[in-house]
């Protein structure tokens, strides 16, 4: 059945119109304009960004609207006409929504009513920017015009690009040549070449040695945080990603590691002033043991008991640390100050550069451990428990011990991250160990690709690195997280980089075929092509 292009356009336009109004109501129009200003190398110093950046922002929204309207499934022979019609109507509807909003709020502001009493983010400045610093009627008309025009033009361009044979062949050629280069024999030889790989590792190593020295304190701080979250993500991945046991209160083990380390090295509550490395090891061990103790009573049960118990445990830990009861022992709500830094052969080693090195080494060590565990029988047993615990038990896996081991290792790794965190900040307090930390870690593991080590790196950069860099959207972090999680669940439920299973049979079969050419795969009664039996 052929749906009318105008109706398609109206549907798309309504969605974009609603998004537009929502963005205005939460003040995101201003933030968007600011971001564009920043990207174009002209950050606003005093509050509001320039009007031109707001116009660019609106045009971008309009372009997006037009492109997605033109992208709706087409439409028979007059696809160009239909798509342009769809783009035009989408832009008109979106512009209408914006114009009505602009007109209402513009008139309200013109009568000197402060809307901020009801909607915190809608300041008079943002209203006046929304109507292009004009009076309400003119602003509304301008809004309508900008949205319609940009949507219409973008739909036109999109259709041209898609239908034009020339451009299509050009795109196909370039993508073809790119994939050819990627898949060419030379490249794959290069990837399989031992020396080329060592060369690559060497380049990465040199970069990791040089970069912390050159890029300054701010970047060391940002990437130090990212590194600590990578460690946390790799740790959580063991119990949640591989063994499949959801742990919500993961921050409890982080807190135990941090406080063990802090209390052993800080002068104030106990004046122990232990050596950095011994305290670090003890922080790891104590966190690991706490994981073991938490797991003992509950890991024999199935279901999400572990999630609930650890959630409670993490809150108990945080409240205990805050309470007066333990103030003499843990420093109470004020936390522990002057936590010791690392030393190397008796000399101090705690500049931000040195600390970056320690975090890099810790990340490398933990990823190495994770990699080795992933490929071991233990790792396979964890995945088996995750996929079907009943059957895993029946194939001879002691699920309880396996899960306990996974939890203890996870907790120990969280302890390492906590100790490093406390030492780097030279402080740790109850507020460092909010539940949000654990939620962040779960998010980054899910977004990056659950069960996959490179995915966790990507997730940590995306969720901890980007917000640090894009300070403007700090207030919208929860919103962005929510949207990101929903979008991920819809589009890529396995994360950006989903976990892959290793190739084991082919690997050995290839080796065999080089020595024994008589052997050939694919025989007997399985003539069904692989992958078709779904």
Partner 1 sequence: MESTHKLGMQVCIETQKVSKIFGGLTAVNAVDLSVPEGAIASIIGPNGAGKTTLFNCISGYYKPEHGQIIFYGQQIQGEQTYSVASFGIARTYQNIRLFADMTAIENIIVGQYPRFTANWMDAIISTRREQNEEKIAIEEGRRLLKFVGLEGLGDHLARNLPYGAQRRLEIARALANKPRLLLLDEPTAGMNPQETDKMTHFIRSLRDELGITILLIEHDMRVVMDISDQITVLDYGTKIAEGKPREIQSNQKVIEAYLGPGGSSLTKKYQLRKKQRHAIIN
Q: Which residues bind partner 1 (CB under 8 A)?
A: 369, 372-373, 375-381, 383-384, 387-388, 390-399, 405, 409, 501-509, 521-526, 528, 530-534
- Residue 214 or 528: which CB sits closer to partner 1? 528
- Residue 215 or 400: which CB sits closer to partner 1? 400
- Residue 246 or 473: which CB sits closer to partner 1? 246
Q: Sort strands 343-344 and 347-348 into parallel, antiparallel or unpaired.
A: antiparallel
Nearest distance in Å: CB 370, partner 1: 10
Nearest distance in Å: CB 421, partner 1: 24
Nearest distance in Å: CB 404, partner 1: 12
Cα gap 348→129, rounded to integer Å: 53
Nearest distance in Å: CB 379, partner 1: 7
Angle of CA points 327, 328, 330, to nearest 5°: 60
**DSSP codes of every residue in 251-268:** HHHHHHHHHHHHHHH-TT
Cα gap 74→9, rounded to integer Å: 12
Cα gap 261→281, rounded to integer Å: 9
Cα gap 161→154, rounded to integer Å: 10
Nearest distance in Å: CB 527, partner 1: 10
In b/e form, how buried is each residue of 282-315, taking b as 16+ CB within 10 angstroms?
A: bbbebbbebbbebbeebbeeeeeebeebbbebbe
Nearest distance in Å: CB 242, partner 1: 12
Phi-psi map region of 527: left, alpha, beta (phi>0 left; psi -120 to 50 alpha): alpha
Nearest distance in Å: CB 367, partner 1: 12
Cα gap 238→373, rounded to integer Å: 9
- Residue 277 or 371: which CB sits closer to partner 1? 371
Nearest distance in Å: CB 285, partner 1: 15
Nearest distance in Å: CB 378, partner 1: 5
Q: For 264, list phi and psi in degrees, rounded to 5.
A: -80, -20
Residue 336: strand, helix, or coil: strand
- Residue 125 or 388: which CB sits closer to partner 1? 388
- Residue 185 or 390: which CB sits closer to partner 1? 390
- Residue 319 or 365: which CB sits closer to partner 1? 365
- Residue 305 or 400: which CB sits closer to partner 1? 400
Cα gap 320→318, rounded to integer Å: 5
- Residue 327 or 367: which CB sits closer to partner 1? 367
Q: Count how many Cα atoms sit within 13 Å of the Cα of residue 134 in the half-sphere of its side chain.
A: 13
Residue 221: strand, helix, or coil: helix
């Amino acid at each position: 059945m052929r749906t009318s292009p105008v109706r398609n356009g109206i549907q798309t336009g309504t969605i974009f119109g609603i998004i537009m109004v929502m963005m205005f109501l939460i003040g995101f129009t201003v933030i968007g304009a600011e971001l564009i200003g920043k990207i174009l190398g002209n950050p606003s110093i005093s509050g509001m960004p320039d009007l031109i950046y707001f116009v660019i922002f609106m045009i971008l929204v309009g372009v997006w609207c037009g492109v997605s309207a033109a992208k709706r499934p087409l439409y028979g022979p007059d696809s160009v006409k239909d798509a342009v019609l769809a783009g035009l109507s989408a832009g008109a509807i979106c512009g209408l929504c914006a114009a009505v909003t602009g007109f209402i709020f513009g008139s309200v502001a013109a009568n000197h009513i402060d809307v901020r009493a009801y909607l915190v983010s809608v300041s008079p400045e943002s209203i006046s920017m929304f109507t292009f610093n004009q009076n309400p009627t003119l602003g509304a008309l301008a809004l309508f015009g900008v949205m319609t025009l940009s949507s219409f033009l973008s739909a036109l361009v999109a259709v041209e690009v898609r239908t034009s044979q020339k451009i299509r062949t050009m795109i196909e050629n370039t993508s073809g040549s790119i994939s050819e280069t990627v898949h060419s024999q030379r490249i794959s030889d290069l990837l399989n070449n031992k020396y080329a790989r060592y060369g690559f590792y060497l380049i990465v190593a040199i970069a990791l040695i040089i970069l912390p020295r050159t890029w300054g304190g701010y970047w060391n701080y940002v990437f130090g945080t990212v590194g600590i979250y990578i460690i946390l993500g790799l740790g959580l991945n063991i119990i949640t990603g591989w063994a499949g046991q959801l742990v919500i209160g993961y921050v409890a083990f982080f807190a135990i590691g941090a406080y063990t380390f802090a209390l052993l090295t800080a002068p104030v509550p106990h004046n122990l002033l232990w050596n950095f490395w011994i305290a670090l090891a003890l922080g790891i061990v104590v966190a690991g043991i706490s994981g073991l103790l938490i797991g003992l009573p509950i890991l024999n049960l199935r279901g999400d008991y572990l999630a609930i118990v650890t959630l409670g445990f993490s809150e108990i830990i945080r409240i205990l640390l805050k309470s007066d009861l333990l103030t003499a022992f843990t420093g109470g709500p004020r936390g522990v100050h002057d936590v010791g830094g690392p030393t190397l052969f008796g000399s101090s080693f705690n500049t931000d550069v040195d600390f970056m090195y320690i975090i890099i080494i810790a990340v490398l060590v933990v990823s190495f451990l994770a990699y080795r565990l992933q490929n071991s029988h233990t790792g396979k047993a964890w995945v088996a428990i995750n996929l079907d615990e009943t059957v895993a038990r029946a194939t001879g896996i002691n699920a309880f011990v396996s899960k306990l081991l996974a939890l203890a290792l996870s907790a120990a790794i969280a302890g390492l991250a906590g100790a490093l965190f406390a030492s780097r900040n030279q402080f740790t307090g109850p507020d460092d160990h909010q539940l949000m930390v654990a939620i962040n870690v779960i998010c980054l593991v899910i977004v990056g690709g659950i069960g996959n080590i490179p995915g966790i790196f990507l997730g940590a950069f995306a969720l901890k690195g980007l917000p640090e860099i894009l300070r403007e959207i700090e207030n919208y972090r929860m919103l962005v997280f929510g949207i990101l999680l929903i979008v991920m669940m819809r589009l890529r439920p396995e994360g950006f980089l989903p976990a892959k299973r290793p190739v084991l049979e082919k690997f050995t079969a290839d080796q065999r075929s080089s020595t024994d050419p008589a052997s050939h795969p694919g025989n007997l009664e399985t003539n069904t092509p692989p992958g078709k039996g779904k």
